[in-house]
Structure 1
Amino acid sequence: MKAKTIKGESIGVIETELITALSDGFSPNLAFVFLSIEQDIDKLTNLLDSRGIQIFGATTEGGEICNSELDKNSISILLLDIDLEDFKILIEEVGNQGLKETTKSLAQKALKTLNNPAILVSGSGAWKDYNLEKIVNGFKEVLDSDIPVYGGIAGDNLLLQESFVFTNNKKGNHAIIIIVFNADKIELKGVSFHGWNSIGTAKTITKSSENIVYEIDGEPALQLIMRFGGIQKLPDNLYDIQTEINHSLMIQLLREKGEPIMRGGVVNMQDMSLLFTGFMPEGAKIKFCLLPDLDTIDETVGVIRNFKEEEMPGPDAILLFSCTGRQISFGPEFNREFKEIYSVWSRPIAGMLSQGEIGKARGGDLELHNLATCLVALKEK
């Protein structure tokens, strides 16, 4: 498998970069495309389609990753030449059936498409159905646990209005897209890591409904978080409220098996509840986490170096999904994470800042993550 990355701040730059990439006889038939919501999706897909290149695309949550760099309002593309029989791109509108049933439908098609599948996934329209864990549960109900599934949720530069996933002839603002690889020919392995350390004792969710938490340890959820985070008074607007909460305490959901996972919450001022991206069942145990220090970047890179040594010493290409919340937490140092990840292999990397990350937790099951980095390595056998 040959792989190249191209990037640009406009379709015109991408067209020039594409011509250069193909000038040595390179003939890709697959493109992973990550682009800002401000870019022209239709124009870009027409450009790639005219070259006979199939597209797996998603809009980003405020950042596009290409090799060691993170840009904004740009386009990042990973170009691959893979036997056409070894992959298939599928996309479905969510519609009235919901995230879980749409994912189940795609997973069933994946099993019929290839005997030994490995799957990458993205979804759009998170704010139309905020419980994104339903995507994960859809896969779990259909696929064996040893089938790899990784990916990231599309965004829209934190506007929280409309995101897209797309392929050559179709795009959707409330849709799920998967690419199914033939795992007999294409090796796909991934690793997910967040690095947040918990503090204090575990607390219990005492009142919730699916992904909405009303009470923790018998106390209104927002009230308890304000108390433990030392927040005396909330700001007037929702954006500043969200920033204040996220800069004070984050929530970690404990699992019976594997590492705990992070959960991002949105404040509902009307009833002091918190809306999360995944299920938060009554009786579940949580812990609070302070913002990480910069050592977390070093820990993340260390986990990826171990992944290289133990799982994937020489990939042909890499995809990277990193939560936009990490950028908020790490500030200017965030770019160092990408530079150091790239140095692990110095192979072509493309990816995006995402609204949620999908992959197996270390030592655990397939999960929807928040505040995590999810790296996926591809190698032709």
Structure 2
Amino acid sequence: MKIIQAYKEDGKEWEYFQQKATLKNPLVLVFGNRYLLEKSEIIENIRAEFPYENIVFGSTAGEILCCHVNDNSISVTVIEFENATYKVERENILDFNKNAVELGKSLYEKMPKDNLKHLFVLSEGSFVNGSSLINGLETNLNSSLSITGGMCGDDARFEKTVASFKENPKEGEVILIGFYGESLEISFASFGGWIPFGPERIITRSEGNILYEIDGQPALDLYKKYLGEKSNELPQASLLYPLNVTPDGKKDPVVRTILNINDADQSMILAGDVPVNSRVQLMMASVDGIAQGAQTAANLAMTKRKNKPELALLVSCIGRKLVMNQRVEEEVEQVREVVGDKVPLAGFYSYGEMAPFNGSTSCELHNQTMTLTLISE
């Protein structure tokens, strides 16, 4: 596997982490600030610098490259496999009347199945229900297949996200990358480091990813009481206090970030499903706890690997970035210490992370986690 990585800030020249070279039919991953990805001259510059066909674009809430976290930049990772192959497909949620389940089904059906080893998702992050998207992808999924990925970001603006395959980035896109070949070894893990606090309550009214009532009370009203003065900073403040949700009949909780609020009906729109009768608690975190969580995720991803990873794809939540602030690179450094300082790191800060629970192959939508996908051949 050959990897070339580079990044640029607006108005500056490209900086490379490896020697610049021409590769054959590589997969090109471009993660960048949404404002930059909407500039046609930036896209033209990327295409000129990396004149390859298979380019995937995604907007972020921060770009991870090497052991750095960048803002307002474009980061590029070019991957050429020696024996393995890949396939990229796309759909737009607006063509499915925002039905993420049907979109997921359609995307998976497009993907050739022979020797398919792993699926990586890059999804629109503003209005796609990530849980429903995963449900659609897994409807006819072979039980041995694994899925990881993330929802695109837009810093802390929450205005819109953009993504694309080959085309210029636009709203509504969901990209699916299939990795093929017996030579591939792909491992993954996801872990948070956040701590539940306060009383455990019951979700009494919800619809998909819209939360209306907790313990029979308007959800937003109850949430604001907990936040106090910080409630004036919603929805951004909710990134610091996500919800720990344990669906009825399940033992493993998922963390849910609040993407938006509706004062009219006192509801909250979350990144994924929040089923009725789920147990729910508020969560909080410390910088040290988040950094430790990233290390735990890396250790879990490295467990039982036969070979050293040649590439680490990191998807971390914007909420973690906001808590860590100027110390944000510490969680990336924790990952680097575990996977090896010579392993290229690439990724982004997201509005939602996708990965199975540890020890499972069934994918879940997570929030506030560090999610890793380690690849070698």
Alignment TM-score > 0.5, same fold: yes
Query: 1:68 is aligned with what amino acid?
Result: C
> CA RMSD, aligned part only?
2.6
**Aligned 8 A contact 1:199 1:289 in 2:** yes
Q: Cα deviations across residues 91-132 of structure 1 (Å, max 9, x unaligned)?
A: 12222413221221111111x3534341111112x33x3422
> How far apart are 1:221 and its partner, in Å?
1.1
> How far apart are 1:305 and its partner, in Å?
2.4
The SS at the match of 1:33 is: strand
Q: Cα deviations across residues 173-231 of structure 1 (Å, max 9, x unaligned)?
A: 1111111111423222211111112224431111112221111111111222233x261
Q: Which residue does the alignment assign to 1:56? A: 56
Q: Which residue does the alignment assign to 2:256? A: 263
Larger helix proportion, structure 1 or 2? 1
Query: 2:323 is aligned with what amino acid?
Result: S
CA distance in 2, matches of 1:230, 1:13: 44
Quickly say closer, same or farther: Cα 1:163–1:355, change in 2 above 3 A.
Answer: same
Query: 2:118 is aligned with what amino acid?
Result: A
> How far apart are 1:331 and its partner, in Å?
2.0
Q: Which residue does the alignment assign to 1:216? A: 214
Q: Which residue does the alignment assign to 1:79? A: 78
Q: Percent same amino acid at aligned positions?
A: 24
Tell me how many residue pairs correspond in the alignment: 366
Query: 1:81 is aligned with what amino acid?
Result: E
Query: Does 2:43 align with 1:47?
Result: no
**Aligned 8 A contact 1:220 1:272 in 2:** yes
CA distance in 2, matches of 1:113, 1:172: 28
> How far apart are 1:145 and its partner, in Å?
3.4
Q: Which residue does the alignment assign to 2:373? A: 376
Quickly say closer, same or farther: Cα 1:293–1:37, change in 2 above 3 A.
Answer: closer
Query: Does 2:291 align with 1:297?
Result: yes
> How far apart are 1:18 and its partner, in Å?
9.0
Q: Which residue does the alignment assign to 1:254? A: 246
Q: Which residue does the alignment assign to 1:89? A: 88
CA distance in 2, matches of 1:109, 1:43: 29
**Aligned 8 A contact 1:258 1:363 in 2:** no
The SS at the match of 2:155 is: coil
The SS at the match of 1:310 is: coil
Quickly say closer, same or farther: Cα 1:85–1:328, change in 2 above 3 A.
Answer: closer
CA distance in 2, matches of 1:143, 1:92: 18
Quickly say closer, same or farther: Cα 1:82–1:330, change in 2 above 3 A.
Answer: same
CA distance in 2, matches of 1:4, 1:132: 30
Match of 1:176 among 167, 174, 177: 174
Name structure 1 gaps, 5 residues minimum: none
Q: Which residue does the alignment assign to 2:187? A: 189
Match of 2:349 among 342, 347, 353: 353
